[in-house]
Amino acid sequence: PSEKFATAPQLNEQDTLVQRAEHIPAGKRTPMCAHCNQVIRGPFLVALGKSWHPEEFNCAHCKTSMAYIGFVEEKGALYCEVCYEKFFAPECSKCQRKILGEVINALKQTWHVSCFVCVACHNPIRNNVFHLEDGDPYCETDYYALFGTMCHGCEFPIEAGDRFLEALGHTWHDTCFVCSVCSDSLEGQTFFSKKDKPLCKKHAHSINI
C-alpha cells in the first residue's frame, strides 16, 4: 500500500547557515560591542546586525576567533563552523554527512535537499507532497503516472479516501459518473452507454453525443 506525506515547512531557504562577519575600519562611528557593552574605538566587526570588538567575536564553545572564519547562530549563541558541525548539525539519512544548510525533515529523519529526491525523476521533493511506494519516495506527478488510477471522467487521480466506482470498463470518481447529456448523477442508477459514454434513462437514445 502506498502512503502520502507532506514534509514539514522549513523556515530557512538558504543554501547554508554559515555566515561571515563584516570588517569595518575605524571612523567617526563609535558603536557598542555586543559582547562587552563597551564603546568600540577602532576597527570593529558587524555580524547579525550587531557590532563587536574583533578580539571578542569568538566561538561560544572553543573560544576560537571567528573574525576571519564562518560562524553559525544556534539557540542565541554563536559557534564556529567546526563546533556547529560537531555539536548541532543534523546528519543526513542518505549520505551520513552533516547538514550545514536547509534541512528536510521527512519520514522521521533529516536529509540534505539534494539527498531527498523522487526516485523516478530525481528532482528534490523539498516541502512538496510525496508518496511512498515500497519504501521509496515519489513526487506526486510521478507517483500517479506510475501507480495511480485516473478518473475516466475528469482525468484527475483517484486518491486514497476518494469515493469511486467501476463502470464501462473504467474507474470514476462518484461525482464524475454522470449522464453525458444532462450531467445528472448516475451513481446507483440504471444507466446506458453510447460511444463509451454513460447516459441516463431519459437520454439513452440521444444522438447529441
pLDDT (tens digit per residue) in 135-187: 899 998 888 888 878 888 888 888 767 888 888 888 899 999 999 899 899 98
Beta bridge partners of 33: 51
Contact 79, 88 (CB under 8 A): yes
Say whether 54 sits in a helix, a strand or coil: helix
Nearest to 195 by CA among 187, 186, 182, 205: 205
Q: What is residue 12's predicted lDDT score, i.e. its pLDDT?
A: 41
Concatenated DSSP letters of 82-122: HHHHHHTPPBPTTT--B--S-EEEETTEEEETTTSB-TTT-
Q: What is residue 187's predicted lDDT score, i.e. its pLDDT?
A: 87
Q: Evaluate if residue 128 carries a pLDDT over 60.
A: yes
**What does the longest C-alpha to C-alpha distance in the chain come to?**
94
Q: Evaluate if residue 27 carries a pLDDT over 80.
A: no
pLDDT (tens digit per residue) in 48-58: 999 999 999 99
pLDDT (tens digit per residue) in 180-191: 899 899 988 889
Q: Answer yes or no: pTM beyond 0.75.
A: no
Nearest to 92 by CA among 79, 77, 105: 105
**Nearest-angstrom CA–CA distance, 55 and 58:** 7
Average pLDDT across the chain, whole number: 86
Mean pLDDT of 96-113: 91
